[in-house]
Amino acid sequence: MIIEVPAVTVTNEVQLKKGEFKNIKWKRRIFSSTYELFTNNSKIGELNTSNFRSISVGQINNYSFKFQKKSFWRSEIEIVDLLHHTSLGSIKFKLLGYQAEINLQGEKYVWKFENFWRSKWAVYENDFSIINYYKKSFKGEIKSKKENELLLLCGLFVYNNLLKYQ
């Protein structure tokens, strides 16, 4: 079985420098399934999602990742490095509490909403918020204390996936 993975294009690609992770903007056009990521008004990546497919693809700073549902009945996502075709971790959803557990290369993180309106969410490491996401309409902001491109994309992916079940 061959699975087609949509191409991810990044124009005006700019590498993030140390310390720039503190403030990243994102936007998604109405009816679009693509989140675009920006820093200093330059596009640095994107996350392509779909309501009708079990695969999402993300790219940031020359790294490409695939988020693929492990099976139809399970609420677990496998995260794959598209360059090396290796598994990097998984995401397990806890739908009753609108939370998720992110496992990346032996490290565990917790994703959860921060407010009733679901316009703020965060990724936690050892009960400390390390990446905070803010949403207003079809755009938002990410403030991170940890330089981890994949974890940053995971936070957007989890949010998008939970929106499907609201």
pLDDT tens digits, 15-70? 555 554 579 999 999 889 999 999 999 999 999 997 777 899 999 998 999 999 98
Cβ atoms of 61 and 44 within 8 Å: the answer is: yes
pLDDT, one tens digit per residue, over 82-130 is 999 999 999 999 867 789 999 999 999 999 999 999 999 999 999 999 9
Three-state DSSP state, 137:
coil
Instruction: Please state, rounded to an integer, the average pLDDT across all residues of the chain.
Output: 86
DSSP 77-136: EEEEETTTTEEEEEEEEEGGGTEEEEEETTEEEEEEE-STTS-EEEEEETTEEEEEEEEE
* pLDDT value, residue 19: 52
Q: What is the CATH number of domain 20-163?
A: 2.40.160.200
Is the sign of the CA dihedral 14, 19, 21, 24 positive or negative? Answer: negative
Q: Residue 12 above 90 pLDDT?
A: no
First CA to last CA distance, the chain: 32
- The residue among 115, 119, 118, 148 whose CA lies nearest residue 131 is 148
Q: Which two tokens stand for residue 55?
A: 């695969």
Q: Sign of the CA dihedral 83, 88, 94, 97?
A: negative
- Residue 7 has φ and ψ, to the nearest 5°, of -70, 140
- Give the model's pLDDT for residue 91: 96
Ramachandran angles phi, psi of 65, nearest 5°: -135, 150
pTM (2 d.p.): 0.85
CA distance 120 to 111: 11
